Structure 1
Amino acid sequence: MFHGPDPPPGSVVHPVRGKVALYNPLLHAIAQKYRTRVVDLWAMDVLRDPRAFSEDRLHFSPEAHRRIALRVAEELGLPVEEDWREPWPKPARRRDWLRARRDDLVWARTHFWPWLVRQIRGVSTGDGLQPKRPKLMPLKPPAQLTGDSEMVNAAG
């Protein structure tokens, strides 16, 4: 299980920060009840960097996913050679205000406006998509982890 992250100021999800803060202890209580591990994304300061988010400003970037995977491995006691806490590299140059507003306009045109139109029309991005596995099937257990074996996709 994962706690919700602490979104950076100015991010699309920052307005729901308070709700995430209320959600996390409830999730933690459920995890304790069922003796399930929790990866605390809220405590991962590296996820507060705007570069932790993809172009849509909603989902994590590939680098953020890599860092979360390292944190998961750490939680599971698996050996890792990199540290997810490693600070982001310094940007080559700081974006000026005008450049930031241009980026905001591109984002709004590319991501926000189409989303808003879909919401008004009552259309989901998943409408019309077929499921990858339409029939209920048993979950295959992953291969046993040994010294140098790799984890296999349990879903097959």
Structure 2
Amino acid sequence: MPNGEYLRYVALGDSQTEGLGDGDDTVGLRGFADRFAAHLAAANPGLQYANLAVRGRLAGQVRAEQLGPALDLRPDLATVVAGVNDILRPKFDAAEVAAHLEEMFAVLTAAGAHVATVTFPDLSVLVPLARPVAPRIADLNDRIRAAAARHGVTVADTARPAAVRDPRMWTTDRLHASPVGHARIAAALAHAVGLPGSDDTWTHPLPPRPPAAGGSTVAAELRWAAAFLGPWLGRRLRGRSSGDGRTAKRPHLSPPGAVSGKGPGAV
């Protein structure tokens, strides 16, 4: 796997890269990109890190809004993770989404950055209502792998290990990684780019847990739909996004330990 000295890491993406599910807007978000930056800094003292991700962004919006600022920061390493918000839209075009991702891969690598990305797990086992989108996820993953191969982009294939479908890897909304999940994604990226001390333990199952208490699966799905699906659909019908009024939490390069912004419009 590629291995090198990295001094400027820039993360592009949506809510997963911003860090939703790992902290909150009160105490601040961490997320896999922050955690990956910590891995990088351990191997590369002096690393500077920026995170341009904004929740709710589609792949095309990430390309339009974040690619230019990322290039201005002259990264030698960049992560590009986007597409899940597109998958959830009624009108999903895998080829179009992959084209946005590939353009970012091409432009960043041409500028001298080593680019890394991930694939997306099929979480229909955790979200039965999401089973109709499983083929979309598989299609996009195949396109991501192919585009990455064309541009020398490193892929952390987080779609494959069974461990990623453990409920403990995800928050109660079942869409965003939990702190454990974000830590695993960061470890997967560290392993993929060949950082010293990284290995494949991120693929290993979590420790066994006590059997879950009995309950109605239907009732659980209805509670989930009321708590998360309903509000999401409401925003879509109103033409709103969870990222409205928000900007990147770390738009400028700084040491990974520096305090990042909090809340709407953080800069």
Name the TM-score, length of structure 2 as normaliser: 0.45
Give the aligned residue type for 1:83: T
1:139-150 → structure 2 map (5 Å cutoff): none
Q: Name the counterpart of 2:155.
A: 38
Q: Name the counterpart of 1:25.
A: 142
More strand as a share of residues: 2
Q: Name the counterpart of 1:56.
A: 173
CA distance, structure 1, for counterparts of residue 203 and residue 150 of structure 2 = 29
Q: Name the counterpart of 1:110.
A: 227
CA distance, structure 2, for counterparts of residue 152 and residue 36 of structure 1 = 27
Report the Cα offset of residue 10 of structure 1.
4.0
Structure 2 unaligned segments of length 5 or more: list them.
Answer: 1-116, 261-267
Q: Name the counterpart of 2:84.
A: none
CA distance, structure 1, for counterparts of residue 248 and residue 192 of structure 2 = 29
1:90-105 → structure 2 map (5 Å cutoff): 90-98=208-216, 100-105=217-222
Larger radius of gyration: 1
Residue by residue over 1:96-148, the C-alpha shift from the partner in whole angstroms, topping out at 9 and shown as x without a partner, is: 133x4444343222212212222222222222x14237xxx8x75x98xxxxx
Q: Name the counterpart of 2:121.
A: 5
Residue by residue over 1:69-120, the C-alpha shift from the partner in whole angstroms, topping out at 9 and shown as x without a partner, is: 111111121213882133222222323133x444434322221221222222
Structure 1 unaligned segments of length 5 or more: list them.
Answer: 144-150
Report the Cα offset of residue 67 of structure 1.
1.1
Q: Which structure would you say has the larger RCO, counting Cα contacts within 8 Å and 6 or more residues apart?
A: 2
Give the aligned residue type for 1:132: A
Q: Name the counterpart of 1:73.
A: 190
Q: 1:80 to 1:33 in 2, by over 3 A?
A: closer
Report the Cα offset of residue 47 of structure 1.
0.8
Q: What is the aligned-residue identity percentage?
A: 30
Contact 1:6-1:43 within 8 A present in 2 as well: no
